[in-house]
Chain A
Amino acid sequence: MIATAPPDTGRLDHRWTTALEDLLACGRGAGADLVEVFLERTDHLGVLAEQDTITSVTPAFGMGAGIRVFRGHRDGFVSTNDLSPTGLRRALEQALGMLGLEPSLHATSGFDGLPTLRDFAATKSDWLQRCPELQEATARLLEGTDQLQRQGSHLQARRGSYARDWQEVLVAASDGTFGRDIRLHQSVGLNVLAADGEHRAGVGRRYGTSDQPDDLRRWDATSSAAEVCGSAGTMLYADYVEAGQMPAVLANRFGGVIFHEACGHLLETTQVERGTTPFAERVGESIAHEAVTAIDEGLTGGAFGSLSMDDEGMEAQRTVLIQNGVLQRFISDRAGELRTGHSRTGSGRRQSHTFAAASRMRNTYIDAGPHTPEQLIASVEKGLYCKSMGGGSVGPTGQFNFAVEEAYLIENGQLTKPVKGATLIGEAKEVMPRISMCANDLELAAGFCGSVSGSIFVTVGQPHIKVDSITVGGR
């Protein structure tokens, strides 16, 4: 035996009730206002194919607990891999100690016990078994790299990657929260590096869903490869973009990263707490063009950022952030509600038990508008069409940036030559009022978001949108 076994490693379910109630009662008896326990088991599989060979298969298993204790507006959080009664008790006592509290044998807790477990995972217990076995997963990836070879040209490197993340969670809190869920995320990535002399183009795409055990089986390797190879072929000989201020039309799907970075992060209560959002006091006011309605939700079936309950045990919901340009509400978690007064929205999320939950986005998108994409492009005399976006970030002053993977010039209302090397930068307060037109082709795209509570599965999305003026960095 290397470490003490937890009460039951087979499943996180109602059999943990007594152990959890003991912890919660102990914490409340010590004087905590609220105690929350997050238990987790994970089963990850990563597969990498390069050229026509499987070069890496990486299974990973994990388990652990995160215990958070609140007193007033303060909280202490401790995580541990040790799920034994002793290990959990030690973690609780450490969290209590951070707030100057100590367990007492004689104290009464005022904690009445947990209610019946709310089991969101009841219909999901076979999901892991329904995912493709290794043999099938490797075959599908090799199909992807083979399609890249068939459809691409000047390809110096071809790569396909598959990730399957299964997570079982159990959340219990002294306010009566007691929920269990199973989450399943799968994603496939295709990447190529095209090279011809000094010309080079690296292009990648990732396709992902949640809660769809058959996702990899349904993945269309041929069309995915066509998308990647088409972009690489176009960008290989593209000139670098000429820098400056200009209007831009951003394509749908992953173009939604502009809202995610420029505005979404600034509507998290985490930012209100820090004083780093310019929108803190502006609920009910216009912060964007009237063409903009923006939503964050966890309900869209199969979307990468969907969830039955958040990591604080609250059921997901649809949250309208901006309605016709007017700020409606913030994305809030438990600590955010406590410290800012914005009520919880089922948005308390974390990468794993090693992070305390924080207010984080789920499926975040700008809603569809009345125009066609062609109308947006036709309205621009000289500007940039951003067909595919890369990653981005936002800083403490609200300054955002994101990379453009595939872009074209717009000249006299028409798309002309492809250009590369563009980075869009700006500030949320300034750019949101400049999103003046939204098209009728809303689509979502899978992605990952890194922030205070780690890297989480999210969806970004939008229809085609037009930004009247934005700074385009380039050469």
Chain B
Amino acid sequence: MANNTNGNNGLNANALRASLEQIAAANGIRRWDLGAACSTDISVQVDRGEAKQMKGAQRSSITVRVWNDEGLVGVTSTSDLTATGLERALSGAKEASAFGNPDDIPAFSPLATAPLAELDQPIHPPQGILRLLETLKEAESDLLSRHAAISTVPYNGLAERNSERLYLNSDGACRQQQLSTASLYLYARAEQTGRKPRSAGAVRLAYGANDLDIGGCISEAAERTISHLNYEPINTGRYTCVFSPEAFLDLVGAFSNLFNARAVLDGVSLSNRNSIGETVAVPFLDIHDNGLHPANIGASAFDGEGTPTKRLALLEGGVLRHFLHSEATARAFGVAPTGHAGLGAKVSVGPDWFEIGATPGSGGGQSGLDRFKAAEPIVWIDSLSALHAGVKASQGSFSLPFDGWLIQNGEPRSIEAATVAGDIRQVLKAIIGFEGDAKVTPDGLCPMVWVEGLSITGEA
């Protein structure tokens, strides 16, 4: 566990720096940086009114990088934060540095000491596990009462977390952030005689358990589960599809290598070094990455290298504007780091939180889209499954099971079992328009997205 000298089981940056400086000096290490995290979690699960499992966890870890005398970088992670553990981590990193890649040497981010955005993230004291248990039992009971067919809530959980992370480097950078978050998920299962079981759920996040929209989570889980009871198979064919905000965000996230400078340099992205400025989507689509959005519960003010997080235009008017960068990829492209880095010998890059919507002034494609007033049959894709298996990120193709409805003459009917398949590059150019206002989800902000001509395979 990290030192307790600040009295709250958190990370004491000054003491940690002093220890590392001492160990580094003793090992002849002059240049280093470090990311550290510690957290305490409690969570509960229930099963038909009884506590199923109650869990607590105290976690701590550090990742340390060192530069050797040849300037090569090595990295080591450890959860052993005793003095022995830290010394072993530093010496391990030094040993690994002999195998550092001379063609791609990470450096300290030039923005590791730049000002950070002020985040409004109230710290909530934990409610305690017994209180969480009672809250979740009530939520489960409420959900079970919403429909006779809802027999169990097999996947559920209510959790609180208090966490802290920091970034230090031997040039004096010091970033530190504390956070408290709470989460609730409820996935109900419904059964009717002679019919297949159906399942759906909902998730809510907040800065504290008191702020969770528990009623909204129950209602959404119930409504979605009930809406899938009256299911039918769908004929295989091509359909115009309406993606829910969650489903479209999942799809864009699965293909985020489009925007990933690391993947571009590695040759596994759908983009290449010259793609900036290319039209890759319909002219009315904007995609921004904005980890600082106020609705992004648990936003980080800085990335793994200490670079401040910021709003970044990825697509504007369907044109690729920027890539996501670490310090090293930014240097390779001659731009500034964007605040999307991890921490490692080879630094990973990833998105934070997407904002997807119409390009201002573009009209946003077809107007007045309403899936319940469509002349043709519409497939409404509510949620995608198995993205880890069904997405070929570097090929652009996907074939994914989904939950959703076939809407004919304004009447939605749940689809028994089906897959949707396509190519992300074609999808981005086959967007017809948007329906409704953008919705806040845990992964970003997005409206309903209409896409024409997607291949649907059903069991009919």
Contacts and interface: CB of A to CB of B under 8 A. Distances in A.
Interface of A: 1-6, 9, 47-48, 50, 53-64, 73-82, 87, 91, 94-95, 97-100, 134, 138, 156-157, 193, 200-202, 240, 243-245, 273-276, 354, 356, 390-393, 395-399, 401-403, 420-423, 425-427, 471-475
B81 A2 contact: yes
Given A3-B1, A138-B99, A403 B399 contact: yes
Nearest to B188: A396
A401 to B, nearest CB: 5
Contacts of B99: 47, 54, 57, 134, 138
8 contacts: A3-B2, A9-B85, A56-B101, A76-B56, A244-B236, A273-B47, A401-B385, A473-B399
Given A245-B459, A473-B418, 6 more contacts: A9-B80, A56-B101, A61-B89, A193-B267, A396-B199, A474-B419
A60 B78 contact: yes
Interface residues of B, number: 86
Contacts of B344: 56, 58
Interface string B120-132: 0000000001100
Interface in B194-228: 196-199
B396 interface: yes
A472 B268 CA distance: 27
B71 interface: no
Given A3-B3, A48-B346, A393 B19 contact: no
Contacts of A50: 266
Contacts of B198: 397
B58 A244 contact: no
Given A95-B56, A392-B386, A274 B457 contact: no
Contacts of B82: 1-6, 9
Closest 5 CB pairs of A and B: A473-B419, A243-B457, A391-B389, A274-B154, A473-B457
Nearest to B20: A2
Contacts of A201: 395
A471 B459 contact: yes
Nearest to B187: A396
A79 B56 contact: yes
Nearest to A62: B79
Interface in B68-97: 74-86, 88-89, 92-93, 95-96
Contacts of B422: 475
B401 A399 contact: yes
A193 B60 contact: no
Given A57-B99, A74-B50, A354-B57, A425 B417 contact: yes
Chain B interface, DSSP helix/strand/loop, else mixed:
mixed
B189 A2 contact: no
A469 B351 CA distance: 41
B95 A134 contact: yes
Q: Which of A74, A245, A274, A420 has the most CB of B within 10 A?
A: A274
A3 B38 CA distance: 13
B50 A73 contact: yes
Given A79-B56, A80-B57, A393-B389, A202 B394 contact: yes
B45 to A, nearest CB: 10
A240 B393 CA distance: 16
Interface string B407-442: 000000000011101100000000000000000000
B53 A53 contact: no
Given A2-B15, A2-B86, A193-B268, A276 B154 contact: yes
A60 B64 CA distance: 10
Contacts of B419: 243, 401, 423, 425, 471, 473-474
Nearest to B75: A58
B155 interface: yes
B417 A471 contact: yes
Q: Which of B79, B129, B392 has the most CB of A within 10 A?
A: B79
A54 B102 CA distance: 10
Contacts of A59: 75-77, 92-93, 95-96
B335 interface: no
A354 B59 contact: yes
B388 to A, nearest CB: 6
Contacts of A398: 197
Contact of B421 (A47, A61, A402, A474): A474
A23 to B, nearest CB: 16
Contacts of B85: 2-3, 9, 61, 63
B264 to A, nearest CB: 11
Contacts of A403: 386, 389-390, 399
A270 to B, nearest CB: 10
Given A73-B50, A244-B236, A474-B455, A401 B1 contact: no
B178 interface: no
Contact of B1 (A82, A156, A274, A354): A82
Nearest to A98: B54
Contacts of A76: 53-56
Interface string B96-123: 1011110110000000000000000000
A3 to B, nearest CB: 5
B457 A244 contact: yes
Contact of B388 (A48, A273, A391): A391
Contact of A55 (B89, B104, B393, B457): B104
B199 to A, nearest CB: 4
B359 interface: no
A201 B57 CA distance: 42
Nearest to A276: B154
A401 B386 contact: yes
